[in-house]
Amino acid sequence: MAAHGETGGARENAVLGKVAAGAADRLQGVTVVKGVLNGSPSVEDAVAPHAGRPVLVHPFFMSDGYFVSKVLPDRLSRAGVANLRVLTPLGMLGELPALVAVSAAAREPRSLMVVGHGSAKGDRSRLATDAFAANLASLLGELPTRCAYLEEAPFFADAAHQLQTGDVVVSYFAGDGSHARDDVPRMLADAGKSDFPVVGPIGDLDGIDSVIVADVCAVLAD
């Protein structure tokens, strides 16, 4: 499992570690290791003992943007992994909306606001966030759902001011890094909305390891 890597905070990369451990328990006979692009253990160090074998990489990312499509395969290839397959990122797995829907429905929402990263450099993050939000809304009876972003319009810093009673925020991030841990709560606080319920970060929800394992097993069965 490969992630961007969280820096700072008492729980640095704890979410990735928890999910990787859960996946390892379920994938009997399959070696599961974890690595990050930024921090320790690096993806190179994690895969080094296994570089001569076929390697499936689950990207613990929310979209198939630059880090997943370019940086991750390039770094692993340079590390000597000859037989490499990069799987679908966490945020784009087909079973993910159903898992999140359970947590969201428990808050009895009137509407949802899905907060994604976004990017001024490309549309992959926005497209993945929008697709996830649409699928989530359909599972919740076409519940009114809108998206906001940290790094492109509509900006969550502005959209947070529009939250109304009964709205639930979905934090569309993989781990407990600075965006989910600091940015989203800070923007809610700045808008005077700190008391609004937040589902996520997505990667920290119970059952995420099962969603990932189901995808890995489907690939292994091909």
pLDDT tens by residue, 123-168: 999 999 999 999 999 999 999 999 999 999 999 999 999 999 999 9
Cα-based torsion angle of the residue sequence 90, 92, 97, 103 in order, rounded to the nearest 10 degrees: 30
Based on the domain organization, do 99 and 200 belong to the same domain? Answer: yes
> What is the reported pLDDT for 7?
61
Q: What is the CATH number of the domain that holds 10?
A: 3.40.50.1400
The pTM (predicted TM-score) of the whole model is 0.93
Based on the domain organization, do 143 and 191 belong to the same domain? Answer: yes
CA 146 to centroid of chain Cα atoms: 18
Computed over every residue of the chain, the mean pLDDT equals 93
Based on the domain organization, do 52 and 127 belong to the same domain? Answer: no
Based on the domain organization, do 114 and 73 belong to the same domain? Answer: no
Domain count, the chain: 2
Based on the domain organization, do 211 and 144 belong to the same domain? Answer: no
Based on the domain organization, do 8 and 68 belong to the same domain? Answer: yes
Based on the domain organization, do 200 and 98 belong to the same domain? Answer: yes
Say yes or no to pLDDT of 9 above 60. no
d(CA 14, CA 9): 10
d(CA 113, CA 21): 30
Type of residue found at 90: L
Based on the domain organization, do 101 and 196 belong to the same domain? Answer: yes
Closest CA to 167 of 89, 216, 215, 111: 111
Based on the domain organization, do 119 and 168 belong to the same domain? Answer: yes
Based on the domain organization, do 103 and 20 belong to the same domain? Answer: no
Q: Domain limits at 171?
A: 94-204
H or E element that contains 157:
helix 156-159
Based on the domain organization, do 197 and 210 belong to the same domain? Answer: no
Based on the domain organization, do 110 and 122 belong to the same domain? Answer: yes
**What does the pLDDT average to over 23-38?**
93
pLDDT in tens, 75-112: 999 998 889 999 999 999 999 999 999 999 999 999 99
The helix/strand/coil state of 17 is helix
Report the percent of the chain where pLDDT is more than 90.
83
